[in-house]
Structure 1
Amino acid sequence: MRKVENVELYYTEKDRVKVKMIAAEFHELDGGDRDFPKGIYMEFYDEFGKMESTLRANQAFFFKKDNLWRGRGKVEVKNIAKNEQLNTEELFWKQTEQRIYTDKFVTIRQQNDVIYGEGLEAKQDMSDYVIKKPTGDFEVEEQ
């Protein structure tokens, strides 16, 4: 096991930053898995370098074999453009598919509404999402 402190990593595609990650500490385990016991903060950028969303979790774990991230504890995802925020206690991020999902209870704060539910599948920037079992009061605009 290797321990690294005060990490700031950048994931790039075609010379553009796509994801910025900050962590106070992580442990690189045998096999390439990574444990972030003190939490993680990530920023996601579009193809023009504009920040689309952020993700914060009290704890995180990266499963190298599946190329899958798991955030636990207080997990928060913010969509900057839509001014929406997702809160849950556990969230998975499939980086190759740019998707996030959970089977846990979720709260989504929109500009005028709060939606509750159990289970969620979404784009990583929260621009499009489906709550599996929604609850709460919210307005629906007729078209």
Structure 2
Amino acid sequence: MILGGCTEVHEHTAAAIHDRDSVSVMTSYGVNTLISDSGVIKYKIVTERWDVNVVKNPSYWLFEKGVFFEQFDEKFHVEAYIQADSAKYYDQKKLWHLRGRVRIRNINGLLFESEELFWDGMRHELYSNVYSKVTTPERSMEGTYFLSDEHMTHYTVSNSKGSFQREDMTGEQNDTTTQKPGAQPDTAQVQPSLRPQLQKHRKNG
């Protein structure tokens, strides 16, 4: 007996993918390049992998294999070294988000250590809301709030404790870092108006 009939064939298809959010438009390996801003070379980047995604809103660069910077002054002299386990750079905002064993060492012997740091290229500030440690030849400070200029010459560590080698700078600190009259200043107190901005950046990051 021969059985015959009509069978309707259904084609199973997936929806077309129009959003390329997860796709990088450029992936580079073994990168060692100079980055400039307004025609001035600002720093050198060394990284194992560099992904660029311009479809995301906001667009960003991703350095998931770690990143190392050499930061330059106006005369192209190295003034600091920066490294992190991973980083994301929001190019439209000029905002870096560094994570995992973030380290900064400048030519003055300052060492910054934390697990997270934001670098705002528009405000020319570095800031963090997690535990951070700043060590200089004269002192060591720890706290859960950090704010500094890009050159790490004026900085604040608050909610902190500090130990000092100089006799006139011994003690604990529970608020913004300060110095006694007559001491050479190398810190700056946080202006109240900066605190809401820091919280806003933290949420956006």
Alignment correspondent of 2:77: 50
Alignment correspondent of 2:119: 93
Contact 1:78 1:126 in 2 (8 A): no
Alpha-carbon spacing, 1:13–1:68, altered in 2? closer, same or farther (3 Å) = closer
Alignment correspondent of 2:152: 126
1:84 aligns with 2:110: yes
Contact 1:12 1:19 in 2 (8 A): yes
Deviating 4+ runs (over 4 angstroms): 13-16
Aligned with 2:160: secondary structure? strand
Of 46, 52, 55, the residue aligned with 1:22 is 46
- How far, CA to CA, are the matches of 1:124 and 1:71 in structure 2? 14
- How far, CA to CA, are the matches of 2:81 and 2:90 in structure 1? 20
Contact 1:79 1:127 in 2 (8 A): no
Percent identity between matched residues is 21
Alpha-carbon spacing, 1:122–1:11, altered in 2? closer, same or farther (3 Å) = same
TM-score, length basis structure 2:
0.64
TM-score, length basis structure 1:
0.89
- How far, CA to CA, are the matches of 1:128 and 1:38 in structure 2? 31
Q: Which has the higher helix share?
A: 2
- How far, CA to CA, are the matches of 2:93 and 2:38 in structure 1? 24
Alignment correspondent of 1:6: 30
Answer 1 or 2: higher relative contact order, Cα 8 Å, separation at least 6.
Answer: 1
Q: How many residue pairs were aligned?
A: 142
- How far, CA to CA, are the matches of 1:47 and 1:59 in structure 2? 27
Q: Which has the higher strand share?
A: 1
Query: How much is the aligned-residue C-alpha RMSD, in angstroms?
Result: 1.8
Unpaired segments ≥5 residues, structure 1: none
- Deviation of 1:76 after TM superposition, in Å, equals 0.4
One-letter code of the match for 2:142?
A: Y
- How far, CA to CA, are the matches of 1:28 and 1:12 in structure 2? 17
Unpaired segments ≥5 residues, structure 2: 1-23, 170-179, 183-205
One-letter code of the match for 1:124?
A: E
- How far, CA to CA, are the matches of 1:18 and 1:62 in structure 2? 15
